[in-house]
Structure 1
């Protein structure tokens, strides 16, 4: 499957680790192909066909009519940002491991190093 030209990433804007991770993705996304929106902004979860609770539980990435969550979403977003299929190819070979790691990170993200949450810096959007 060809790499989409762009995508929408829905992240937890109240999470410092999520905000820091988004910063790393933006550094890789030199072509500004990824639109990132906090799940707390009005109507954002609905844009990926999800509820606020579902978006709070796991990252969502939408591109060309396809919505992915969790580790699959991370790899798809990286593939779009880098314009290279390597992240998704790696995920296809290590799905079980990456899904376990993603689940652990998602459960413990409040304890992981982060930065000032996106919604703290942009309260008018959240």
Structure 2
């Protein structure tokens, strides 16, 4: 039985880019959500795998529906108020969603090269120093 009442944003806590984005979310976006690094999350209870979380940010609704990558970002934006809904629409509606998907994939692949990125961002999470794999 699921006892969550708020959506959960699951991100890569070892990634400098992801951590900076989460800081922005905490300051400017949705207030009524839970945010957790996947390395510290109970992935089984969220219905997520380690591999899914290594691949992209995840959004889990209270009913257990999961979205990933640019769709998850769009869901986060929708939950953040009317002023963010136009960006959510762009992230999730073709043909704009195709561009959002390509941009998300490019950023994810190159995050270690971007400002705020770290060498750890280039490594799979399970190979990073101090990594533990719980699922």
TM over 0.5, yes or no?
yes
CA distance in 2, matches of 1:56, 1:97: 21
Q: Determine helix, strand or coil for the equivalent of 1:54.
A: helix
* 1:39-50 equivalence runs, <5 A: 39-43=38-42, 45-50=43-48
Find the aligned partners of 2:115 and 2:45 in 1 and give their Cα distance: 29
Indicate conservation of the 8 Å contact 1:76/1:88, yes or no.
yes
Residue 75 of structure 1 aligns with which residue? Answer: 74
Aligned to 1:28: 28
Question: What root-mean-square deviation, in Å, do the aligned CA atoms of Structure 1 and Structure 2 show?
Answer: 2.3
Q: Using structure 2 for the length normalisation, give the TM-score.
A: 0.71
Which is greater in Rg? 2
Partner of 1:97: 99
* CA shift for structure 1 position 112: 1.6
TM-score, normalising length: structure 1: 0.76
CA distance in 2, matches of 1:98, 1:42: 27
Unaligned runs of 5+ in 2: 121-135
Q: Give the 5 Å matches for 1:1-126.
A: 6-29=6-29, 32-43=31-42, 45-65=43-63, 66-83=65-82, 85-91=85-91, 92-93=93-94, 94-114=96-116
Whether the 8 Å CA contact 1:9–1:60 is kept in 2: the answer is yes
Superposed displacement of residue 13, structure 1 = 0.3
Asked if the contact 1:12/1:38 (under 8 Å) is kept, the reply is: yes
Runs of 4+ in 1 over 6 A off after TM superposition: none
Residue 50 of structure 1 and its aligned partner are, at CA, apart by: 1.5
Greater relative CO, 1 or 2 (CA 8 Å, sep 6+)? 1
Contact 2:12 2:39 in 1 (8 A): yes
